[in-house]
Chains A and B, each alone.
Chain A
Amino acid sequence: MDFLVFQYPMITIQACLDGLLLGILFALIAYGMALQWGVMNIINIAQGDLVILGGYIAYFMYLYGIHPAWGVIVSPIIMYFVGIAIYKLVINKVVDRDLFISILATFGISILFMQLMNFAFGADVVLANSGYGTTMLFDNNVVLPNSKIFSAFISIVFAICLVVYMKRSKLGRAIRATAQNARAAKILGVDTEKVYAATFGINAALCGVAGALISITFTIHPYMGLPYTIRSFMIVIVAGLGNLPGVAMSGMGLGIFEEFADYILGTEFRIGSVFLLLVLILVYRRFKLSRKREYLK
């Protein structure tokens, strides 16, 4: 237990800023999850593993001497095709089935990816060094790595691009129509199969961007996927499907929560507190909903 955080206001500011920048990244992953959940009604447990895979793409560019920031461009392109491949092989067989089937199937994909990455890239914690330096604020009391600011900026840019794309483009309209009513969209000539594949591909591409940014700012490891899945799931249920400002807000809130949990409880309880928060949120939601159900009875 470390209560330093209450004695020095600078640490509070540090934690808040770190949390905000981190939360924007989480919100980007959660946006992808909300997209595919809304359109295909699938909860993808392998979301976090797609993120990590995207991170490894940027890391490999770094190893071969290319600046890892270019991973932000390359990784989503590769991940888009990975996403399409996953959709064609597995997801299209579970789309209309029971939700638990899709959870279990993507759990299988998650285990598969985890192990393949473990073989291909080794079990070391790695980091692609961007060499961006740091920014000092408040008389050098608050230290912000520039890479974090860069990643938050890029996340916002990608999120805005995607929102505009969804609003304006033909595919975006088809995706939104399918999300509203898949059968009606099919009747009106939307190729839902293609829309689903594209949605999953876009989701994977978003994961790729987020992964590349995570490999620059934080560290990546083959087994670190599941916490990202849980975080994005949590953000989506707090914000609700299709509520974009809500996703951004709850993402930042989660980021700040994590930083404070890190300071107060200690780093070893960080992931544990995230999972516990998920349980608490779901339980809170259950009591709130059950109160609503009362007058139905």
Chain B
Amino acid sequence: MNKNSWILYIGILVFGLIAPFIFPAFKVQLSILCVLIVLATTWNIQGGEMGYNTFGNILFYGLGMYLCASVQVGMFFPLAEWTESGGEKTFVHTPSQFFQGMAAGLIVAAVVPTIVAGLIGYAILGLRGHYFAICTLGLGVAAGEISGGIEIIGAGQGFTTPPFPNIGGLEARGEFFYFLSFGALVLTFIAVRAIYTTRFRLILNAIRDNEDKAEAMGIETMKYKITGWMISAFFCGLAGGIMGGLVGYIDSTDVAFDGREMGVFMVLMAILGGKGTLWGPIIGATLFHFFKEGFWTFFLGWQYVALGVLIVVIVIYFPEGLMGWLREKYPERFGEVVDEADRKAQVELK
């Protein structure tokens, strides 16, 4: 790591820390952006590095969301009565209860999806290509439909997460969730960056490029695939838990297991930025968030139509994403050696 990148990292960190005070009106948006970056970056471990295009990471996200809220409520109050009352303030968390519950909830929200990923990984990750994509799509939708039928977590009417406690008249909800999600983002970035410098990334890339050959070279591909998925599940669960508290209301198919929105968003963000790179999903998520907010503001009512068009356009015209485009344009910047004559010939061919 050279000096320039250290300056970049510290600059981003400082910006992240002071951002909610510079843009106080956008605290919630910035928190959502952090969560989106976490989701895109973890999707990239599967879709970009490993070549397993999953729609199923939404499963861990939704699971984390429900688990965090359930633990936070269930630690102090009867869960069934809480969901029964549907957000009526019959039970109120004291500040210490709220924070204890949140901490415990986030731990559970991160750990349980990891275990789930480990358990189902052997069965699911044996599928290849589009079978894997459709299977994980089914998994996400099935989880949404089934959780929508379970009474104790609110079934069809939804689940209200505990409201942020009022500490001596101080309004700190936005800051609290912003720093929570920013912390999750920093944690994810450090973890993913650390992974990407090891042999693990090379193995994942080998699996992407040719799984049979990787197996023939003596790599136990299944072990690495499951590990990769568990890492994703950990951070997706964490992001889900934070998002649940941030939104304040959990619905099975519209918020938690929202395969139609969030499940596609994470794929799209990673593709927009350029999959298979460290910075691609981060840039993609940021751009996408601007797009999305723009759509929601200027095309209100037509936002999903615009989104559908955006998906089709990105997928057809920018399948390599922004980073891929830059890489093609300035290969030297990415440490690739290019033969000048060869390049000219390529340009002429085009």
Contacts and interface: CB of A to CB of B under 8 A. Distances in A.
Interface in A257-279: 266, 268-269, 271-272, 275-276, 278-279
Interface residues of A, number: 42
A282 B307 contact: no
A166 interface: no
A153 interface: no
A191 to B, nearest CB: 23
Contacts of B156: 268
A108 B311 CA distance: 5
B214 interface: no
A11 interface: no
Interface residues of B, number: 41
Contact of B124 (A112, A115, A283): A283
Contact of A107 (B139, B146, B311, B319): B311
A167 interface: no
Interface stretch (B130-138, B227-235, B286-294): B130-138
Interface stretch (A62-70, A92-100, A155-163): A92-100
B272 to A, nearest CB: 12
Given A105-B315, A108-B312, A100 B142 contact: no
Given A93-B316, A111-B260, A115-B304, A233 B311 contact: no
A278 B56 CA distance: 14
B131 A100 contact: no
B143 to A, nearest CB: 8
Please provide the 6 A-B residue pairs with the shortest distance between their CB atoms, ordered closest to farther. Answer: A112-B308, A108-B311, A272-B145, A275-B142, A115-B304, A111-B308
9 contacts: A43-B134, A99-B130, A108-B307, A108-B310, A230-B137, A268-B156, A271-B141, A279-B135, A286-B131
Interface of B: 53, 123-124, 126-127, 129-131, 133-135, 137-139, 141-142, 144-146, 148-149, 155-156, 260, 264, 267-268, 271, 301-302, 304-305, 307-312, 315-316, 319
Interface of A: 43, 90, 93-94, 97-101, 103-105, 107-116, 119, 226, 230, 233, 237, 266, 268-269, 271-272, 275-276, 278-279, 282-283, 285-287, 290
